[in-house]
């Protein structure tokens, strides 16, 4: 029986049955069943290998595209790529990290978190390893003319006002900050403290009391603790001349302060405080300089 279109060819409503007809295509259910059997029969080692490969690919996909494994020296704990970045490259590098960790932000919001290249000191001329042993010499080389009160203008001289450092050094962790503090001891005197501004074994209220009562030449701390001290009003940026970011140091997992959201986010929040951003655009004698070590 057929359905005949006007002026057309009849189209059969039922396909003729024939023993020689082609077999019906397999349904998705039968195909899935066969695949399940194949998977069950696959060796356990093959399954484990596939899982390891998948996990490796997923981990690789999460890594920032600008990380070069050859630049990460796990033995020295140093990311050598930082040393080759001039002011503009560092500004772009930081912006890339901020965008990566804050995908929810709009273009305008990301712009508010942008650090201008003119605020960053070009340190590419430094040809020594960026380790603890060379930190003090590094700061000496790239410090601008001191803007402190008499009697001196060296890094070992604090200004007269208490709780007002001329230099802040920022580290990713309390342990690293403690190491940096020891590396800078040559700048500490009875009248100029190298202040420990990190949370490890030091409660916030204890830190606030210490800061308010001390003449501080340099403060060494972690991003969030520094934010807390500035927001409390205990720490003043009134005579702040430079901020040193311990950017080259990496941990046992090859991560630096810019490579982890838990440290990068508060770091950028600190560096883009309105009172700081205003001073990035000041003249030489009032400017805050950013120095990436």
Q: Taking CA 121 as the corner, what is the angle to CA 117 and CA 124, rounded to the nearest 5 degrees?
A: 105
Q: pTM for the full model?
A: 0.77
- Which tokens sit at 200? 């490890």
Q: What pLDDT digit, counting tens, does each position of 39-94 carry?
A: 444 555 567 677 676 665 544 444 455 667 889 999 999 999 999 999 999 999 99
**Burial of residue 17, with CB atoms counted within 10 A of its CB: 0-12 exposed, 13-18 middle, 19 or more buried:** exposed
Q: What pLDDT digit, counting tens, does each position of 195-245 carry?
A: 999 987 889 999 999 999 999 999 999 999 999 999 999 999 999 999 999
Alpha helices in the chain (DSSP H): 28-41, 44-62, 87-101, 107-112, 135-142, 174-183, 204-212, 223-232, 261-271, 274-280
Q: Taking CA 272 as the corner, what is the angle to CA 225 and CA 99, rounded to the nearest 5 degrees?
A: 100
Q: Which pLDDT score, from 0 to 100, does residue 283 have? A: 85
What is the CB neighbour count within 10 angstroms for residue 140?
Answer: 12
């Amino acid at each position: 029986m057929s359905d005949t279109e006007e002026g057309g060819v009849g189209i059969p409503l039922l396909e003729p049955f024939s023993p020689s007809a082609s077999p019906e295509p397999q349904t998705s259910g039968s195909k899935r069943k066969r695949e399940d059997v194949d998977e069950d029969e696959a060796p356990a080692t093959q399954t484990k290998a596939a899982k390891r490969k998948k996990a490796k690919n997923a981990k690789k996909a999460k890594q920032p595209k600008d990380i070069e494994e050859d630049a990460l020296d796990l033995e020295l704990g140093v990311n050598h790529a930082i040393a080759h970045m001039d002011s503009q490259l560092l500004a772009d590098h930081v912006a890339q990290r901020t965008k990566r960790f804050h995908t929810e932000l709009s273009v305008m919001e990301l712009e508010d978190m942008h650090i201008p290249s003119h605020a960053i000191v070009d340190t590419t001329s430094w040809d020594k390893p960026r380790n603890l042993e060379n930190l003090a010499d590094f700061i000496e080389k790239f410090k601008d003319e001191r803007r402190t009160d008499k009697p001196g203008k060296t890094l070992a001289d604090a200004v007269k006002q208490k709780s007002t450092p001329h230099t802040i050094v920022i580290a990713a962790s309390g342990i690293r900050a403690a190491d940096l503090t020891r590396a800078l001891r040559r700048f500490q005197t009875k009248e100029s403290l190298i202040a420990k501004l990190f949370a490890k074994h030091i409660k916030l209220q204890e830190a606030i009391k210490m800061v308010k009562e001390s003449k501080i030449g340099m403060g060494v701390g972690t991003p969030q603790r520094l934010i807390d001290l500035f927001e409390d009003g205990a720490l003043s940026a009134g005579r702040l001349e430079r901020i040193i970011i311990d950017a080259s140091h990496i941990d046992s997992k090859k991560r630096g302060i810019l490579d982890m959201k838990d440290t990068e986010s508060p770091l950028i929040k600190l560096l883009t405080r309105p009172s700081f951003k205003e001073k990035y655009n000041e003249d030489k004698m009032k400017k805050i300089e950013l120095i990436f070590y």
